[in-house]
Amino acid sequence: NAGVTQTPKFQVLKTGQSMTLQCAQDMNHEYMSWYRQDPGMGLRLIHYSVGAGITDQGEVPNGYNVSRSTTEDFPLRLLSAAPSQTSVYFCASSYKLAGGSGELFFGEGSRLTVL
Amino acid sequence: AQSVTQLDSHVSVSEGTPVLLRCNYSSSYSPSLFWYVQHPNKGLQLLLKYTSAATLVKGINGFEAEFKKSETSFHLTKPSAHMSDAAEYFCVVSDSNGNEKLTFGTGTRLTIIP
């Protein structure tokens, strides 16, 4: 029972490099999302998707791209990494979030350091 | 617009004593409210949720929370703390207008004193 799987768990980048954080879920969830967690700031929504082919911006989308070509996968791309993107990134999915009744299932996180 | 305020960034209690983690919310619509727990180096896990049914909500591991509309609060309680309860706890709000976005509080770190 894999749930939500994120890779890699740790990554160190240099300023200006690009990379992709992978997220996959095996629960057939329509809703997938990416959050970043920074000390004292809780979790902030980066991008989300309500189904294959549909994505939208969250609270802090700048510097990140997403796509949703399949129900299972929702990769997050950093286009040109900056030190301000040093954070812990969480992918989360839900069967249905409309109306706020859906439970989010989280991956274990990806810790990114940008030098 | 929606927001959530966790009134304490850090709470310490002795093992076996009650736990109270405070959360106030603001919402333009009838809200859904959640508490999530995060153990060190792990993802978040749902403890309990309120979605306009009973105002007293029971969750996993003996936790419960009461929705008080007049006070715009959703405090998390547990009668007797256990060492395994040491973690960070997040209060989360979502409007019921079909908004797909959740708003997280800044978190409360719970420390259990042996």
List, for residues B21-58, the tens digit of each pLDDT value: 999 999 877 788 999 999 988 889 999 988 877 889 99
Give the count of beta carbons closer than 10 Å to the beta carbon of residue A20.
13
User: Which of B105, B75, B109, B101 minimizes the C-alpha distance to B92?
Assistant: B105
Q: Chain B: nearest CA to A71, how far in angstroms?
A: 17
Instruction: Yes or no: say if B81 and B17 are a contact pair by the CB < 8 Å rule.
Output: yes
pLDDT band at A97 (very low <50, low <70, confident <90, very high): low
Interface residues on B facing A, Cβ-Cβ cutoff 8 A: 9, 31-32, 34, 36, 41-46, 49, 51, 90, 93-96, 98-102, 104-107
Distance CA(A90)–CA(A4), nearest Å, equals 10
> Chain A residues with CB inside 8 Å of B44's CB?
43, 90, 92, 104, 106
The β-bridge partners of A25 are A4
Report the chain B residue with the minimal C-alpha distance to residue A57. Answer: B101
Tokens of B82: 């256990």
Is the minimum CB–CB distance between A101 and chain B shorter than 8 Å? yes
Q: What is the side-by-side order of every strand in the sheet holding A4-7?
A: A4-7, A19-25, A76-78, A64-66
| Average pLDDT for chain B | 90
3-class secondary-structure state, position A83: helix
The β-bridge partners of A49 are A32
pLDDT band at B111 (very low <50, low <70, confident <90, very high): very high
pLDDT band at A99 (very low <50, low <70, confident <90, very high): very low
Tokens of A99: 């109306």
Tokens of B28: 């333009």
